[in-house]
Structure 1
Amino acid sequence: MVDGFNVVVSAGNLRSDDERAVHFAHRWTPEGVAVEADFTGAHLLHLAAAGCVLNDLYREAAGMGIALDGVRVTAAGGFDTDNWTSTGITYSVALDSTATPADLERLLETVDEVAEIPKAIRAGARVTRTEP
């Protein structure tokens, strides 16, 4: 088994300034997001989960009236190298906000429930190859 495959997505005042980070425009933040990830299938899977969580934090925060000054989401997990299946994904979130700890916890709980990519992974989404 291989563990790790860490990825980080960040925005606002928690946005990475690492020279290896790739920067993308982002509808929720004027300066965009920074992505720190290697380009492997495992990293991309974890990046999908982390990126979705970051997006949903901004979306749900706006709906709750919570201002976010910065967001940093780190995701990682392992793969069983005998059959290259995921052993699971973990993610952590750092937030910079003047909101109360209770409001931020409510935001984190909401996002954990509604984030589309983690939801699809948890449900075991079907992936099918088709002809072009």
Structure 2
Amino acid sequence: MDERFTVMASAGSYLSEGGEHVRLPHRWTPGGVEVRSAFTGGHVLNLAVAACVLNDLYREAEAAGLELRGVRVRAEGGFDPSVWRSTGISYAVEIDSDEPPARLEALIAAVDEVAEIPRALRQGAAVTRSAG
């Protein structure tokens, strides 16, 4: 049985008022980033993907001269509880912008290639305990 862990990271025009979320400062957005997530290991792992994609969308948009009013990234993944192995993480992106859809799709595709956390997870990583 696959247990699912869903998170959302939002910025700009996708920020909400009220509700259960945490607002954190963000380099590219004056209102910060809103995080909706439970605090479990599965949620935090998926949040790392959502946060990285959101950050990189703003970074790459700035470099390309694209204006984004808002970004929302929803990430979801599961674990096989019999061995606590990830069954994979997927994410979906929403962008509020007047930029042409083809430019936004190209931005999303470019970020999918360069986003550091998804890239690291796709390669696999050793996790070890240190003495200190």
TM over 0.5: same fold?
yes
1:32 aligns with 2:36: no
Give, in whole Å, the separation in 2 of the partners of 1:18 and 1:9: 15
TM-score for both structures, normalised by structure 2: 0.97
TM-score for both structures, normalised by structure 1: 0.97
Question: Is 58-67 or 9-18 further displaced after alignment?
Answer: 9-18
In structure 2, list runs of 5 or more residues that go unmatched: none
In structure 1, list runs of 5 or more residues that go unmatched: none
Count of aligned positions: 132
Question: Is 10-19 or 93-102 further displaced after alignment?
Answer: 10-19
Measured against aligned partners, the alpha-carbon deviations of 1:40-64 in whole angstroms (never above 9, x if no partner) come to 0000000000000000000000001
Deviating beyond 4 angstroms after TM superposition, the runs of 4 or more aligned structure 1 residues are: none
Deviation of 1:37 (Å) = 0.3
Q: Indicate conservation of the 8 Å contact 2:72/2:93, yes or no.
A: yes
Output the aligned Cα RMSD: 0.9
Partner SS for 2:112: helix
Deviation of 1:36 (Å) = 0.2
Q: Indicate conservation of the 8 Å contact 1:8/1:72, yes or no.
A: yes
Partner SS for 1:5: strand
